[in-house]
């Protein structure tokens, strides 16, 4: 006993749990001092119940004058509350004595074990980087790869290197434990799950699981029907997995219509009391319809039947629109297996998978890490306050560069960072229990913003002004806020948090946002609003859809976004055209024709050249021939012969760009002289020998060599067949044989060859037989090797 606090004594009372078999090995690992460990224990083994109190008994009473607390994180608030209550109940102590919990807006202090969400612990770390008074941190459900847990794992890995009296234990329910062990330089301890027989039945629905609007309602009715059938002649309770709250409500409604009354929802938006209804043991059959929250984080007693939709919802970032939305997809195989395991925790069970065996085989093996797809703004702020960046922190995976850059831009816009350094405002925002954007709005508008921001933080739908927030949460935010100055509308408060999401209604009824995204609105009560401050937006297959917003006055919108006056010059139809623009972000407020400045005109022309290349200009035959010869030289000789597609137009087209900028038309420019500027000196002295423009054939006539790459990169000469009599070998340019288009007296192709010797020896005889009757006035000798070459008829040749 230390300072009047006694150890946990629950271990001996629940030795039947499989995790109990790990305790001697855990004792062996920790007896000589703190170590980093990875515990692999599938759902149902009791790891969340047994490991924290056991570690607390070792760590908290290891000769300290004051006990060192053990912190345990779980990814969801409902799991945190449930784990704390269960541990306190098993210990026979009151919640708030040995065991406590901390989630957003709800805190109960414990002396030995404190359960909390990863975000709460990250904020605690930022306030106290050494975690004074904490002897160990256990991160539960690390396999779920949520962004907060991944960041916390990296931050605590650094802390464990600095403190020799600190243990970091990661607990995983899947078999990718080795990946975590390598990151933490840790040993892996494993517990086997209880083996109860499971009957797995695949019952795919006739309707597709997903349609253009998301989850197919007919599929949800199929899930309800399968649940009804499975429970009809059974006393066992059922756990039904669907991806979100809307789907839960649909399935529950369907079950009510089928005659079921003991049906309970389970998701993170419920109050603690409502969650307890689903989690508390009770007599009789119950049906719990849950989001994936019940996969591994929670124990739902009495369940012997699992009905699985095979769907999950995860954040996906749309880099092109700069937005993140929840996307419904098939869950991972590891998730499906964990869901199935819920039916076999207390005895033999039945698993009904509302998809096919083939569907399951195409699910990804493990859950995709959130760090690769989620919005990174909050994480970037935390890392800035921690004094690091993603590539410096020991992370399992790195975030995409685009997500990191976008987060930095948002933080810079709200004043949280300046350059690479976090500002005092940024440090303050990092400790607030709000997203950085919401925190910035709270500090800007003060306590009057508390209710609106509490509503937005809960993810409302529709008109923000029509919602209300829990008084407890509102009061908590008011205590964190400065005094209000003036009055602000809901639109101003939301708009200040998300200025890039302020939108103006377009002529087609959509909203053009300041970010440049076009979004549709489904809330009928807002459709008459000219301007909206968007609080929540989803990315769907149909594009961006506004989920929640508030009306905002145009003057307030423009004040928040800021108005810019610019001149936009474009090169259109061979000339520079310019307009004076007044914009708010990507929203165009006015546009009038104007005369461009010389610099703007030149920039417009250079931009057009970069987009369209040399096709922007008109080439005379002479200029086109020189262009093609230069291109041929670059392909076959390389340096110093230039690549026309990558030559800087500002260097070799400067006089022409200046002429166009002062009013010249593009068709009036001769491109021959600009191309001559590209000839590399002194190599250009040998240009005609290296890349000749013409070939003199045996008739004595000179014919142009075509380098336009009509036949790949082969030079081409078009010449009448009779002019080539006696030419045995095909000439070459840069080692490439010239391709001869041998023409009839009328100029039509008779043969194409780059091997004249072979042509005279074979195909010529057939050509002669077909042509001598058609063109009797022209020579068709039996021996083309010795016949005189001519461009004339027989008579004129004589």
Task: Render pLDDT for 528-587 as a digit per residue (tens, 0 to 9).
Answer: 999 999 998 877 667 788 989 999 999 999 999 999 998 888 888 777 888 899 999 999
pLDDT grade, residue 797 (50/70/90)? low
Residue 598: what pLDDT? 80
Distances (CA, A) of 713 to 276, 626, 627, 707, 738: 75, 15, 13, 7, 10
Asked if 264 and 237 touch (Cβ cutoff 8 Å), the reply is no
CA angle 640-646-651, nearest 5°? 80
Distances (CA, A) of 298 to 83, 369, 418: 8, 21, 42
Per the prediction, the chain carries an average pLDDT of 88
Distances (CA, A) of 623 to 562, 618, 708: 49, 9, 12
Verify that 215 and 362 share a domain, yes or no.
Answer: yes
Residue 276 has pLDDT above 90, yes or no: no
> Of 23-32, 257-266, 746-755, which range is least confident?
23-32
Segment 481-500, tens digit of pLDDT: 999 888 999 999 999 999 99
**Residue 200's Cα: distance from chain center in Å?**
34
Residue 460 belongs to a domain: no
Strand partners, 512: 504, 518
Structure tokens at 547: 């989920």
More confident site: 781 or 271 = 781
Measured distance CA(60)–CA(45) in Å, rounded? 24
Distances (CA, A) of 567 to 558, 635, 660: 19, 41, 18
Q: Note down the domain range covering 127.
A: 11-190
Residue 243 has pLDDT above 80, yes or no: yes
Residue 709 has pLDDT above 90, yes or no: no
Verify that 237 and 355 share a domain, yes or no.
Answer: yes
Judge if the upstream peptide bond of residue 436 is cis by omega within 30 degrees of 0: no
Structure tokens at 69: 């607390």
Asked if 227 and 201 touch (Cβ cutoff 8 Å), the reply is no
Residue 14 has pLDDT above 70, yes or no: no
Verify that 202 and 128 share a domain, yes or no.
Answer: no
At residue 599, the 3 state secondary structure works out as helix
Verify that 234 and 315 share a domain, yes or no.
Answer: yes
Instruction: State how beta strands 106-108 and 349-353 pair.
Output: unpaired
Work out how many domains the chain is built from and give that number. 4
**Burial profile 47-77: b = 16 or more Cβ within 10 angstroms, e = fewer:** bbbbbbbbbbbbbbbbeeeebbbbbbbbbbb
Residue 16 has pLDDT above 80, yes or no: no
Strands (E) located in 656-797: 694-696, 702-706, 716-720, 732-733, 736-737, 739-743, 749-753
Identify the domain boundary among 625, 653, 679: 679
Residue 4: what pLDDT? 57
Segment 442-457, tens digit of pLDDT: 999 999 999 999 999 8
Measured distance CA(73)–CA(120) in Å, rounded? 9
Residue 328 belongs to a domain: yes
Taking residue 97's Cβ as centre, other Cβ atoms within 10 Å add up to: 16
Judge if the upstream peptide bond of residue 682 is cis by omega within 30 degrees of 0: yes
Residue 446 belongs to a domain: no
Residue 358 belongs to a domain: yes
Residue 368 has pLDDT above 90, yes or no: no
Verify that 285 and 215 share a domain, yes or no.
Answer: yes
DSSP string for 464-489: GGG----HHHHHHHHHHSPPP-S---
Determine the average pLDDT of the residues in 388-394: 92
Verify that 73 and 139 share a domain, yes or no.
Answer: yes
Verify that 113 and 209 share a domain, yes or no.
Answer: no
Identify the domain boundary among 190, 219, 247: 190
Residues whose CB falls within 8 Å of the CB of residue 436, separated by 6 or more in sequence, listed in order:
377, 378, 381, 410, 411, 414, 416, 426, 429, 430
Verify that 711 and 741 share a domain, yes or no.
Answer: yes
Verify that 257 and 325 share a domain, yes or no.
Answer: yes
Segment 117-174, tens digit of pLDDT: 999 999 999 999 999 999 999 999 888 889 999 999 999 999 999 998 899 999 987 7
Strands (E) located in 220-262: 237-241
Residue 243 belongs to a domain: yes
Residue 324: what pLDDT? 62
Asked if 215 and 311 touch (Cβ cutoff 8 Å), the reply is yes
Verify that 46 and 106 share a domain, yes or no.
Answer: yes
Determine the average pLDDT of the residues in 49-64: 83
Segment 96-125, tens digit of pLDDT: 999 999 998 789 999 999 999 999 999 999
Residue 317: what pLDDT? 64
Residue 600 belongs to a domain: yes
Residue 372 belongs to a domain: no
Residue 798 has pLDDT above 70, yes or no: no
Domain of 231, CATH number, reads 3.40.50.300
Could you tell me if residue 109 is left (phi over 0), alpha (psi between -120 and 50 degrees) or otherwise beta? Answer: beta
Q: How many CA atoms lie within 13 A of 101 on its CB side?
A: 24
Strand partners, 539: 544
Verify that 208 and 186 share a domain, yes or no.
Answer: no
Verify that 318 and 217 share a domain, yes or no.
Answer: yes
Segment 599-646, tens digit of pLDDT: 788 888 888 877 777 777 888 899 999 999 999 999 999 889 988 877
Identify the domain boundary among 367, 401, 429: 367
Residue 710 belongs to a domain: yes
């Amino acid at each position: 006993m230390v300072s009047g606090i006694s150890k946990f004594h629950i271990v001996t009372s629940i030795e039947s749990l499989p995790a109990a078999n790990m305790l001697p090995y855990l004792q062996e690992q920790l007896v000589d001092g703190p170590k980093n460990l990875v515990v692999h224990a599938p759902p149902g083994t009791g790891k969340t119940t047994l490991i924290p109190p056991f570690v607390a008994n070792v760590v908290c009473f290891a000769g300290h004058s004051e006990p060192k607390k053990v912190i345990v994180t779980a990814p969801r608030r409902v799991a945190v509350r449930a784990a704390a209550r269960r541990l306190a109940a098993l210990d026979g102590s009151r919640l708030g004595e040995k065991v406590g919990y901390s989630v957003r807006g709800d805190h109960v202090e414990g002396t030995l074990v404190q359960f909390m969400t990863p975000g709460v612990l990250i904020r605690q770390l930022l306030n106290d980087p050494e975690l004074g008074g904490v002897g160990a941190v256990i991160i539960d459900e690390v396999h779920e790869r949520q962004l907060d847990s991944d960041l916390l794992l990296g931050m605590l890995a650094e802390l464990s290197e600095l403190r020799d009296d600190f243990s970091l234990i990661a607990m995983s329910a899947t078999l990718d434990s080795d990946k975590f062990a390598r990151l933490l330089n840790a040993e892996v301890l494993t517990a086997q799950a209880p083996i109860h027989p499971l009957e797995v039945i695949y019952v795919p629905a006739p309707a597709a699981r997903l349609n253009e609007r998301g989850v197919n309602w007919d599929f949800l009715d199929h899930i309800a029907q399968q649940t009804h059938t499975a429970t009809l002649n059974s006393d066992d309770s059922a756990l039904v997995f669907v991806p979100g709250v809307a789907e839960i409500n649909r399935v529950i409604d369907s079950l009510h219509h089928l005659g079921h009354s003991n049906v309970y929802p389970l998701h993170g938006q419920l109050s603690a009391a409502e969650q307890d209804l689903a989690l508390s043991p009770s007599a009789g059959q119950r049906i719990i319809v849950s989001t994936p929250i019940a996969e591994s984080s929670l124990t739902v007693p009495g369940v012997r039947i699992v009905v699985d939709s095979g769907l999950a919802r995860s954040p996906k970032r749309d880099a092109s629109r700069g937005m993140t939305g929840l996307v419904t997809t098939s869950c991972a195989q590891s998730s499906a297996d964990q869901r199935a395991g819920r039916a076999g925790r207390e005895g033999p069970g039945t698993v009904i998978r509302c998809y096919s065996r083939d569907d399951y085989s195409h699910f990804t093996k493990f859950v995709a890490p959130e760090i690769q797809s989620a919005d990174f703004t909050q994480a970037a702020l935390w890392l800035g306050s921690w004094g690091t960046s993603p590539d410096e922190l020991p992370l399992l995976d790195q975030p995409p560069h685009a997500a990191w850059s976008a987060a930095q831009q948002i933080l810079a816009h709200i004043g949280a960072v300046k350059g690479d350094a976090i500002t005092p405002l940024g440090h303050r925002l990092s400790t607030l229990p709000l997203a950085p954007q919401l925190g910035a709005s709270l500090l800007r508008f003060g306590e009057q913003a508390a209710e609106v921001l509490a509503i937005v933080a809960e993810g409302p739908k529709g008109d923000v002004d029509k919602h209300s927030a829990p008084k407890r949460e509102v009061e908590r935010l008011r205590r964190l806020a400065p005094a209000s100055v003036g009055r602000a509308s809901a639109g101003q408060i939301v708009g200040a948090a998300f200025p890039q999401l302020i939108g103006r209604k377009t002529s087609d009824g959509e909203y053009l946002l300041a970010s440049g995204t076009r979004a549709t609105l489904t809330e009928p009560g807002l459709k008459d609003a000219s301007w909206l401050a968007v609080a929540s937006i989803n990315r769907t297959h149909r594009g961006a859809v506004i989920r929640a917003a508030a009306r905002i006055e145009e003057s307030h919108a423009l004040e928040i976004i800021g108005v810019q006056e610019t001149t936009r010059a474009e090169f259109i139809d061979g000339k520079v055209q310019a307009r004076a623009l007044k914009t708010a972000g990507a929203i165009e407020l006015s546009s009038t024709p104007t005369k461009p400045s010389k610099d703007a005109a030149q920039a417009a022309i250079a931009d057009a050249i970069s987009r369209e290349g040399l096709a922007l200009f008109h080439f005379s035959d002479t200029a086109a021939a020189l262009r093609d010869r230069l291109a041929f030289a670059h392909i076959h000789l390389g340096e110093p012969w230039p690549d026309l597609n990558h030559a800087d137009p500002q260097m070799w087209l400067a006089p022409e760009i200046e002429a166009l900028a002062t009013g010249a038309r593009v068709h009036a420019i001769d491109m021959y002289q600009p191309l001559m500027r590209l000839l590399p000196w002194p190599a250009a002295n040998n240009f005609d020998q290296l890349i000749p423009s013409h070939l003199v054939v045996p008739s004595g006539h000179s014919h142009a060599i075509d380098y336009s790459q009509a036949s790949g990169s082969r030079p081409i000469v078009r010449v009448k067949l009779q002019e080539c009599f006696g030419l045995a070998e095909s000439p070459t340019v840069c080692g490439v044989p010239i391709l001869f288009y041998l023409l009839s007296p009328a100029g039509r192709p008779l043969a194409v060859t780059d091997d004249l010797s072979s042509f005279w020896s074979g195909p010529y005889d057939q050509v002669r037989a077909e042509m001598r009757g058609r063109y009797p006035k022209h020579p068709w000798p039996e021996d083309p090797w010795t016949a005189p070459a001519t461009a004339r008829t027989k008579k004129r040749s004589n």
